[in-house]
């Protein structure tokens, strides 16, 4: 009986281990969004430097969660397009109609505003649904209640 149990455990471990060997699929090079009517795609985002960062949030509960992300700092995207309007507001439009805004000051602050493509080991595009059309999320790393975490980003407008 014990031998049967050990064999079952070995088979289970082997099967579970085989499922995690595939590399996660990143968004296609043509996936992207616009910044003041100028398109930026995955290939450009990659050249700007995909960073790993963390956000400590409270997702509607009393407990805090530390989430791991990868993405590009909004300040780097703005620099890429030579956008330097200190008193501006950035309006973030999402595929599902959601709209959020951040100040230029917040966008330029180190470690604050990111356009993420990955969370906790998974590219957003792998989730399907709206993520397939717009696999990007605004993450305000210091916004503990995640009220301006805009998903499915399609456009950033500078006003």
Please state which of the ranges 17-26, 32-41, 124-133, 143-152 shows the lowest mean pLDDT: 17-26
Bridge partners of residue 94, in order along the sequence = 153
* Residue 41 burial class via C-beta count within 10 angstroms: exposed 0-12, middle 13-18, buried 19 and up: middle
Please state which of the ranges 39-53, 79-93, 115-129, 135-149 shows the lowest mean pLDDT: 135-149
- Among 66, 70, 43, smallest CA distance to 56 is for 66
Domain 28-158: homologous superfamily in CATH: Oxidoreductase, molybdopterin-binding domain (3.90.420.10)
Using the predicted structure, report yes or no on whether residue 127 has a pLDDT greater than 70. yes
* Residue 36 burial class via C-beta count within 10 angstroms: exposed 0-12, middle 13-18, buried 19 and up: middle
């Amino acid at each position: 009986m014990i031998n049967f149990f050990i064999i079952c455990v070995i088979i289970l471990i082997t099967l579970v281990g085989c499922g995690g060997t595939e590399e996660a699929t990143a968004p296609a090079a043509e996936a992207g969004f616009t910044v003041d009517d100028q398109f930026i795609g995955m290939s450009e985002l990659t050249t700007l430097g995909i960073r790993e960062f963390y956000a400590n949030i409270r997702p509607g509960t009393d407990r805090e969660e530390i989430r791991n992300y990868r993405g590009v700092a909004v300040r780097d995207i703005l620099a890429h397009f030579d956008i330097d309007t200190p008193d501006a507001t950035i309006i973030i439009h999402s595929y599902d109609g959601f709209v959020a805004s951040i100040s230029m000051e917040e966008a330029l602050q180190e470690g604050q505003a990111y356009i993420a493509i990955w969370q906790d080991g998974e590219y957003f595009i792998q989730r399907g649904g709206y993520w397939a059309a717009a696999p990007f999320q605004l993450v305000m790393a210091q916004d503990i209640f995640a009220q301006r975490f805009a998903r499915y980003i399609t456009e950033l407008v500078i006003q």
